[in-house]
Amino acid sequence: MSEPAARAGSEQRAAMASREVLTEQLAAHGYIVDDALAMSVFLALRMQRPLFLEGAPGVGKTLLARVLAELFDTRLIRLQCYEGLDLAQAAYEWNYPRQLLELQGRGGGAVDDLYREAFLLKRPLLQAIDAAADRAPVLLIDEIDRADEEFESFLLELLGDFQITIPELGTLTARHRPIVVLTSNRTRDVHDALKRRCLYHWIDYPSLATELEIVRRKVPALGEQLRRRVVAFVQRLRREDLSKLPGVAETVDWAEAIVHVGRPALDAATVDATLGLLLKYHDDIERVRGALATQLLAESA
């Protein structure tokens, strides 16, 4: 085992020592978790089970996978799901042009040995269980709810046994089980067969105290009093009936913008001028701007 791989394995074992240690190490990489999420991540790592995260957009589901890759100093392999995603794009396909060139170079002949790994194009799922890798990667299967329901059946073998069967080659099995994180914004229900192979956790919007700590770490230039006003306003805004509520990422962006504005206090004019950092739909911005923004600002004081 190489020195970087040994170091990564040591870091992973240290993080898996206890939920408290994992919480501290995630926080050191800028990711704040509550006790429930810390327990889910801890158990997923210890039990070597995929972690299935659901929640509204912007609550930190995708970010968790990135932070785990940083924490363990390993590769992040991301499969972004979308409608129409199939096995060729997600797992593997054969390099037909190269096979054809090989066949032409031979002047014809047998084709059986054209179906070997040298002619295989490895997509994210197959890359994640590549036996040639010297350490376990983090596999992020992002927004699984955007893929077709049929695609979920492709994942069952991988998530259950960390292997993929290729008819021409046989079954390829992971030497190092990847750390798997699946995310869903719940635009549709994901099949129970897939969820049964995972540890499930719903990530909600953070509490006031947690979001304050996130902003403190991400935007240290923002003063304490102004930070409290910013976070309290966002927390109050989330109770409104909007097309899309602001996530933590929007809170951080807005806090950074307030630093650049350079105002000593948060006022209605500043809120109105910067709402585009919090809200991403024109109707939401128009609804909040003006009287409602002033009201929410007063209520969150």
Domain ranges of the chain: 3-202, 208-299
Handedness of CA 40, 43, 48, 49 (dihedral sign): negative
What per-residue confidence (pLDDT) applies to 10?
58
**How large a percentage of the chain has pLDDT more than 70?**
93
DSSP states along 203-253: PPPPPHHHHHHHHHHH-TTS-HHHHHHHHHHHHHHTTS--SS---HHHHHH
1 pLDDT more than 80 = no
| The length of the chain, given as a count of residues | 301
Average pLDDT over the chain reads 91
Q: What span, in angstroms and rounded, lies between the C-alpha atoms of 100 and 113?
A: 12
Q: What fold is seen in the domain 3-202?
A: Rossmann fold (3.40.50)
108 pLDDT more than 70 = no
What per-residue confidence (pLDDT) applies to 218?
94
Model confidence at 104, in pLDDT bands (50, 70, 90)? confident
Nearest to 155 by CA among 98, 65, 211, 79: 79
pTM (2 d.p.): 0.86
List, for residues 130-171, the tens digit of each pLDDT value. 988 889 999 999 999 999 988 888 899 899 899 999 988 899
List, for residues 18-48, the tens digit of each pLDDT value. 899 999 999 999 999 999 999 999 999 999 9
Q: What span, in angstroms and rounded, lies between the C-alpha atoms of 216 and 114?
A: 57
Q: What span, in angstroms and rounded, lies between the C-alpha atoms of 249 and 205?
A: 11
CB burial of residue 206 (10 Å; 0-12, 13-18, 19+): buried
| Conformation bin of residue 116: beta by default, left when phi > 0, alpha when psi is -120 to 50 | beta
CA 215 → CA 17, 29, 64, 163, distances in Å?
28, 14, 16, 40
Q: What span, in angstroms and rounded, lies between the C-alpha atoms of 144 and 81?
A: 6
56 pLDDT more than 60 = yes
